[in-house]
Structure 1
Amino acid sequence: MTSVDLRGLRPEEWDEWYSGLELAFGGIPDSPEERELWRELTEFERALSARDGDRIVGTAGSFPFRLSVPGGAIVPAAGVTAVSVAATHRRRGILSAMMRRLLDGVRAAGEPLAVLMASEPAIYGRFGYGIASRQLSAEIDTSRVRLTVPPEADGVRLREADPAAVLDECEALYARLVPGRPGRTERLPGWERLEVLDPERRREGASRQRCVLAEAGGELLGYARFAVRPEWDAAGARGTVVLHALEAPDPAAYGALWRFLTEIDLTSTLRVRSRPVDDPWQHMVDDLRRCGVRLRDGLHLRLVDAGAALAARRYAAPVDVVLEVEDAFCPWNSGRWRLAGDASGAECVRTDAPAGLALDVRDLGAVYLGDTSLAALAGTGRVRELRPGALAAAAAAFSWPVAPWMPHGF
């Protein structure tokens, strides 16, 4: 950090700060409407700039999110974002210094969790982040794959509408769904506009964004935002439907929307990105092999206040275990914690009692939302059972019937 000054971001520095971030991510500038919206969403009091003389060489910040956790509680969580270091200033400790400042600020703000979406997953483990959710993507060959949907889907009315005109209705549906799946965030004011931000340069040859609503009895049951990329060859049309978002808690509406997307004229592929790993369409298709399913990391999560974080969620089975936690980057979490809880509530307090399990805070973050099994991590040697039976009981408790999922980036 010699000669580098780490300080808060000033409003008059934002354009330079954001341009440095763009350069770190490839150098292609965002459209004016994208820049304008991200400036409005920037939390200046939570943003950092690293300066070397008159040049910004590092950026970082966070958003004051509220994250759903197993059991439906909505927990304050810092959404770490805009992290970059100039290529000319690597290996000088700038990233570590920014992470230190951010996490100290998160702790001071009383936010027990920090989360991020990693551009390079290998970076953040050393700062205590574990991969807490995964994302599913697919390339469905709709010329060969058929769906079986609930019979009630025939009674669902589908209506195409302008995405911006129906945004408030769709956001109201989204908000009702947040507590039901771990890993979602309540939308901060203005964030709903990101859902319909549709700059042409990001379309990759596809149409403008479209929206179809699923309704019955005048009630909105679900929606899908999508685009169509036309393509032709000597044999005819082979266009691609690109799914941007789909929310439908009602099985009939869900089936009707997926059937619609797979039957759009002049297309033979449905491209699916960033969906939950337990997305039900996988059990509707007749040939999963022709769907090109892939998994990747999603939300990375860190416990900033281990006791408060573990007490905030609910547990799928009764648990009473002492955890020996190691946390080199946030040492206030290190030590023994007694976790006792079930589906109705939990408490987690300091203790001198013998530990049943020993693990690093990174692995505690990986299991926190229920995506990863403690037993699987024990197979790597990273989670150690110190009392017979403690692993099986804790693994059952930390599991959750609904897979965690963060539906958007930040």
Structure 2
Amino acid sequence: MSARRDTAHVDDADTGSADQRPSAALANAADGELRLFLEEICCELVRAHHVENDGSAPESIETIREVRLGAPGSFADIRVAPPAGAPYFVEVKWGYGVDETIERLARKYATNPDRTCQRLVVVTDHADGTARPALEATLRQRLCPTLAIEIWGDGEIRRRIEQSFGLRIETLSRGNIRAIRDSIIRAEWRTAFAGADDFLAPTLLWHFSSWTLRRLGRDGGLAPENVLRAGIYRDVAVVMADICAFSSYVRDTRDEALVRQSLTAFYSQARQAIVETGGMLDKFVGDEAIGLFGFPDRRPGYADDALRCARRLIDIGNSVSEHWQSRIDRVQKSRGVHIGIAIGDVSLMPLRAFSAAHHGFIGDALNMTARLMAAAGPSEVLVSNGFHQALSADSRKSFEPIAPVDGRNIGLIQCWRLPRTGNGSTAT
């Protein structure tokens, strides 16, 4: 994922923000959406770093968002696990005051929640200003001494963007967000389909990870326009997750912006969970995320990948709903997500004549998955018997059989349940 150095130089001349300090430009939009963007970018930057410096394959580097920690309601923003070296945490605390940044981090890391992790990267808009020395000293005093603290600010993020993706920007401002995203898309497209026309780049890189596309394209010889080819695909695993009590949360939320922020967080984090575990993001329907595994080809272990994705979605759902609950008055009866998984045949249908970019799936596997998702309890995963049989022997051991689920027009469904642990995560 090395960068080409001839990419465009971007500044803020046309955004009206050239006279703002870098941190002020972003602090003016200090909301959840901005931090979500920085989380996405940080995942790309740490992955690129380990690819370039360690020679690691991109798919071997885990960047997991919203990882449950020991304390109730406590989640790490990002946990990075490179194949060469110890895992570490990344916390994006942009837009918070110094005192709030310290308190938020101290609640999570006064003790080390994961003894295998040896480092904490803090991304903050206070890194390049006069507040940095006091911030750094206080963090070293308040946080667990076994965690080495590394602080990234505007300058460090811009340096890494230029190094990995070839984009030089003068400030990390909102006016440069599109340029940053475009530079990442161009770099990932070159990795996947070197020399191919990039008209499908935004579409395919929304649905798939760059390394999945590389396996299909550069390694497998599949042209971009043939990745989403209409037809019947056998034995595809379908994962569906939706937010528990979503209508109740919306009804009891007075601030419309909070609804948007919560859904955007779920969309961003769920998409990453699906594509990074080897799946294809199909679409979002309201508060529901749909991912497909074993499409367009069935690589070994794809059923276990779908289960790995479901485990990540459990933590994401709990994080989103617990954050949402903390911002409203009325206590909600349930939190987390319901998840269903089934395996079967699906048909990819074109939604426009002669279009390689607009598509939709139909098939009994989708209907069965929807029935299982509806029957699942909070933070539960219900899977069809066929999917259970497709799992590895070790993965099957985690499940328990339950009474058949009424699938209405598709009949009774023989299924299995992945039990929950006391903290809302699934058993391993």
Q: TM-score range by the shorter chain?
A: under 0.3
Greater RCO (Cα-Cα under 8 Å, separation 6 or more): 1
TM-score by length of 2: 0.22
TM-score by length of 1: 0.22
Larger strand proportion, structure 1 or 2?
1
Larger helix proportion, structure 1 or 2?
2
